[in-house]
């Protein structure tokens, strides 16, 4: 089974990636999981987090937003709302977003309407920062 695994990362903006890879690691909502060729058919939702795949022995990292992943034995299709490759992330912007979110979270009460929104924004900023350092 040397043909590898076909990976498609689809976002509303564009096809972020299509190609053959050896392995994919996906941040599912039920926990991170890895996919190799021959995986059983599988459908799950994807959370904000770090996605990576290995192609020709080299790892590529993406920061992704919510969506879902469809896995069949030789193909993985990931539909997500945003996907940013590690080298295309604007670190300063991510850092600013993180500081903003932290400052805002410190001000408002937990039951405030914006609290959940800001919490998600913070998680996203942290993920992007984290991924950008890979």
Partner 1 sequence: MASLKDIKRKVGAVQKTKQITRAMNMVAASKFKAAQLRMENFRPYASKFMDVLNSLALRVESMSHPLLAVRDPKRIRVICMTSDRGLCGGFNTNLIKATERFLRDKSKEGKEASLINIGRKGRDFFRKKANVIGQRVDVLSKYDMTLAVSISNDVIVPFIKEEYDELYLIYNQFVNVSVQRPTVVRLFPLPSIGQDVDIDPEKNLDYVYEPSEEALLQKLLPMYVHVLVYRALLETSAGENGARMAAMDNATSNCEELIKSLTLKMNKARQAAITAELMDIVGGTEALSKG
Length of the chain (residues): 134
**Which residues contact residue 123 at a Cβ distance below 8 angstroms, ignoring those fewer than 6 apart?**
48
The least distance separating partner 1 from the CB of residue 70, rounded to whole angstroms, comes to 6
Closer CB to partner 1, residue 78 or residue 131? Answer: 78
Closer CB to partner 1, residue 106 or residue 113? Answer: 113
CA 128/CA 34 separation, integer angstroms: 20
- Give Cα 49 distance to the centre of its chain: 4
Binding site for partner 1 (CB under 8 A): 10-15, 28-30, 40-45, 66-68, 70, 72, 77, 79, 81-82, 113, 117
Closer CB to partner 1, residue 43 or residue 59? Answer: 43
The least distance separating partner 1 from the CB of residue 79, rounded to whole angstroms, comes to 6
Grouping H, G, I as helix, E, B as strand and the rest as coil, residue 89 is coil
């Amino acid at each position: 089974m040397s043909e590898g695994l076909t990976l498609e990362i689809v976002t509303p903006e564009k096809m972020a990636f299509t190609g053959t890879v050896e392995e994919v690691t996906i941040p599912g909502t039920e926990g991170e999981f890895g996919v190799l060729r021959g995986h059983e058919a599988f459908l799950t939702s994807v959370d904000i987090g770090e996605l990576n795949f290995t192609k020709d022995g080299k790892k590529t990292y993406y920061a992704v937003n919510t969506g879902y992943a469809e896995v069949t034995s030789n193909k993985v299709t990931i539909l997500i709302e945003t996907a940013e490759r590690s080298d295309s992330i604007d670190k300063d912007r991510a850092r600013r977003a993180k500081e903003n979110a932290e400052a805002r979270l410190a001000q408002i009460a937990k039951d405030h309407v914006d609290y959940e929104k800001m919490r998600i924004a913070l998680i996203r900023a942290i993920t992007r920062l984290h991924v950008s350092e890979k």
